[in-house]
């Protein structure tokens, strides 16, 4: 019988996925008069409407293009740093590859982690819309 051993990369991936699950992309509402006298289905519909309007009109940028660009830039920077370190240690080619891969993975994880975050104008738009409907936003 073989034992499964967690790898550091597997552990980091698991932690990343768990942290994404903890991020909230919906506003949390304070229990004011409007919230307390409105049915949950209506509140959910109001929140969804405001989020859709915010997405349409806030100018939230295409995050995937941003992720790809940042990852590519980090790989170039990492390869340069790795080449220097590899040259000092005796293997510039290996250092370049290690540096590029390490920097690209770090940048990709960082960018993926931030995908759940919306542009501040998106949140402000959604909060304004909910306020106009009588709700009070406590946070996200």
Q: What is the pLDDT of residue 76?
A: 65
Q: What is the pLDDT of residue 18?
A: 46
User: Could you read off the pLDDT tens digit of each residue along the chain, which spans 140 residues?
Assistant: 555 555 555 545 545 554 444 455 799 999 999 999 999 999 999 999 999 999 888 865 556 566 566 666 666 676 666 666 666 767 777 767 676 666 666 666 666 666 556 678 889 999 999 999 999 999 98
Q: What is the pLDDT of residue 30?
A: 96
Q: Longest C-alpha distance within the chain, in Å?
A: 71
What is the C-alpha to C-alpha distance for residues 93 and 86, in angstroms, rounded to an integer? 7
Please report, in angstroms and rounded to a whole number, the separation of the first and last CA atoms in the chain: 46
Q: What is the pLDDT of residue 57?
A: 87
What is the phi/psi pair of residue 28, to 5°? -100, 130
The token pair that represents 48 in the structure block? 């969804």
Q: What is the pLDDT of residue 35?
A: 96
């Amino acid at each position: 019988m073989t034992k499964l051993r967690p790898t550091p990369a597997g552990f980091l991936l698991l932690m990343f996925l768990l942290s994404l699950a903890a991020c909230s992309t919906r506003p949390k509402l304070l229990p004011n008069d409007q919230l307390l006298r409105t049915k949950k289905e209506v509140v959910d519909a109001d929140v969804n409407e405001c989020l859709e309007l915010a997405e349409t009109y806030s100018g939230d940028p295409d995050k995937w293009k941003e992720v790809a660009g940042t990852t590519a830039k980090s790989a170039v920077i990492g390869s340069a740093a790795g080449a220097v370190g590899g040259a000092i240690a005796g293997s510039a080619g290996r250092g370049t590859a290690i540096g590029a891969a390490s920097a690209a993975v770090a940048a990709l994880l960082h960018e993926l982690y931030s995908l759940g975050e919306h542009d501040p104008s998106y949140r402000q738009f959604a909060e304004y819309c909910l306020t106009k409907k009588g709700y009070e936003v406590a946070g996200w």
